[in-house]
């Protein structure tokens, strides 16, 4: 309940129950259920969702694919965007009516070495939206006010949703890759993440090569600024990129260990390979000898911080990026997952609530 330090909340904005897509058992279809709205604890807020993107991570969560698994029942979704409708005790960072994004990093301790040195995404105490905290696949979600990011008014919430994970994740990957003007950057996988990675690499001054298995996606890549495209079903991307001089940086976004190996093979001496995608098959073969002799750097990059997400929103509000998306209803969640798994979606699916 509200304390004296908290603004009173109009009763009509506090739902008792709301509709959400729930995972009850791994590998089984989600069901859209009426779920109970939890009471808000200190520092928490309730958000009425407007848009929520479908990320590959949500599918891995629903399948229990990774070593650390969520506990069903849970609501996936870490690209939820909506308006704040209720404030828990002590919340001062946001006000009712603010539009906020609720990213993967739903909570961190705020005091450990990682948190205080700009690496909150590595905090050991972290909680994740749509994984250990119920996420954005519902009419409402509960979040920690410290860890939401305000969405500028100029941004359509349907664009803000994919930017909240796909955007910030690829923006950070380009940051850690250290792309500078005239660098050759190979982006492996042109989906929800890749179509944004291409744009961030180009904004950083890179010359972009996009690699995918589907011609339609490569066409999108060219529209978004890729200078070269390679269909990996027709040509060996590593050989093609070496013929261009080799990539200064390669960003692995396709959920296939083979693509990671091709990305490695595409690097020039001194090149950097950024691991971003998380294939269910957790192993990749990288040669030690060539890595040492060629001075190769391999970097793992997980999402981005609140600062990174603010920068992503700034770039989009300034008209520097374009989000390619397909809008669907929440009750289409299972067919949407099937479409993403089959590669039938050009970029990102966004549920409109």
> 30 or 238, CB closer to Zn ion?
30
Which residues, 35 to 74, sit near Zn ion by CB under 5 A? Answer: 55, 57
Residue 231 C-beta: closest distance to Zn ion, Å: 25
The minimum distance between CB 53 and Zn ion, in angstroms, equals 8
Q: Site for Zn ion (CB under 5 A): which residue of 109, 154, 239, 338? A: 109
CA-atom Rg of the chain in angstroms: 20
Q: Minimum CB separation from Zn ion for residue 109, in Å?
A: 3
Pick the piece of the chain touching Zn ion (CB under 5 A) from 109-117, 128-136, 237-245, 321-329: 109-117
195/207 with CB nearer Zn ion: 195
What is the Cα 245 distance to its own chain's centre?
Answer: 31
Residue 32, interface with Zn ion (CB under 5 A)?
no
Q: With CB under 5 A, what is the number of residues at the site for Zn ion?
A: 8
Closer by beta carbon to Zn ion, 133 or else 296:
133
- Distance separating alpha carbons of residues 190 and 315, to the nearest angstrom: 20
- Contact between 193 and Zn ion (CB under 5 A)? no
Q: Name 265's Cβ contacts closer than 8 Å, sequence gap at least 6.
A: 237, 238, 242
Contact between 263 and Zn ion by CB under 5 A: the answer reads no
By CB under 5 A, residue 123 contacts Zn ion? yes
Q: Which of 112, 176, 203, 315 is the binder for Zn ion (CB under 5 A)? A: 112
Cβ distance to Zn ion smaller for residue 94 or 277: 277
The dihedral built from the CA positions of residue 315, 317, 321 and 324, taken in this order, carries a sign that is positive
Are the C-beta atoms of 49 and 15 separated by less than 8 Å?
no
Specify whether the CB–CB gap between 161 and 100 falls below 8 A: no
Q: Whose CA is closest to 31, among 351, 342, 329, 333?
A: 333
**Site for Zn ion contains 168 (CB under 5 A):** no
Strands 140-144, 44-54: pairing kind: antiparallel
> Applying CB under 5 A, does 108 fall inside the site for Zn ion?
yes
163 near Zn ion (CB under 5 A): no
Question: 308: cis peptide before it, omega within 30°?
Answer: no
Q: Minimum distance from CB of 277 to Zn ion (Å)?
A: 10
- What are the Cα distances from residue 2, in Å, to 14, 77, 84, 212, 229? 12, 27, 15, 52, 56
Between 112 and 284, CB nearer to Zn ion:
112
Give the tokens for residue 278.
């998380």
Query: What percentage of the chain's residues is helix, strand, coil (to nearest 5)?
Result: 30, 25, 45
| Closest separation in Å from C-beta 99 to Zn ion | 20
Q: Are 107 and 131 in contact (CB under 8 A)?
A: no
Is 25 within 8 Å of 77 (Cβ atoms)?
no
CA 13 to chain CA centroid, Å, is 29
Task: Give least dist CB 61 to Zn ion, A.
Answer: 10
Output 278 or 284, the one with its CB closest to Zn ion. 278
Q: Which is nearer to Zn ion, 165 or 211 (CB)?
A: 165
Q: Nearest approach, Cβ of 240 to Zn ion (angstroms)? A: 29
Positions in the binding site for Zn ion (CB under 5 A): 55, 57, 108-109, 112, 115, 123, 165
């Amino acid at each position: 309940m509200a304390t004296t330090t908290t603004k009173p909340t109009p009763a009509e904005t506090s739902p008792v129950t709301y509709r959400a897509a729930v995972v009850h058992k791994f590998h089984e279809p989600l069901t859209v259920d009426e779920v109970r709205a939890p009471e808000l604890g200190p520092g928490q807020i309730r958000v009425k969702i407007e848009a929520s993107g479908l990320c590959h991570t949500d599918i891995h969560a629903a399948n229990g694919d990774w070593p650390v698994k969520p506990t069903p029942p849970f609501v996936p979704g870490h690209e939820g965007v909506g308006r704040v409708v209720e404030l828990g005790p002590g919340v001062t960072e946001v006000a009712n009516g603010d539009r906020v994004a609720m990213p993967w990093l739903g909570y961190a301790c705020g005091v450990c070495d990682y948190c205080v040195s700009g690496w909150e995404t590595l905090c050991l105490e972290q909680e994740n939206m749509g994984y250990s905290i119920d996420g954005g696949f519902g009419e409402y979600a509960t979040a920690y006010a410290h860890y939401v990011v305000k969405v500028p008014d100029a941004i359509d919430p349907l664009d803000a949703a994919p930017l909240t994970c796909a955007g910030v994740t690829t923006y950070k990957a380009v940051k850690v890759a250290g792309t500078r003007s005239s660098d050759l950057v190979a982006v492996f996988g042109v989906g929800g993440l890749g179509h944004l990675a291409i744009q961030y690499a180009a904004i950083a001054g890179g010359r972009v090569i996009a690699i995918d298995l589907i011609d339609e996606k490569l066409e999108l890549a060219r529209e978004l600024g890729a200078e070269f495209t390679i269909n990996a079903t027709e040509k060996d991307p590593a050989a093609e990129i070496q013929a261009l001089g080799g990539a200064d940086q390669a960003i692995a976004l396709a959920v296939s260990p083979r693509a990671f190996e091709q990305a490695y093979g595409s690097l020039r001496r001194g090149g950097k390979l950024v691991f971003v995608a998380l294939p269910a098959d957790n192993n990749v073969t990288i040669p030690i000898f060539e890595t040492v002799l060629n001075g190769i750097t391999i970097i793992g990059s997980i999402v981005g911080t609140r600062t990174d997400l603010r920068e992503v929103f700034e770039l989009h509000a300034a008209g520097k990026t374009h989000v390619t998306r397909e809008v669907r209803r929440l009750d289409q969640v299972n067919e949407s997952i099937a479409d993403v798994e089959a590669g039938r979606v050009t970029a990102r699916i966004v549920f409109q609530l």
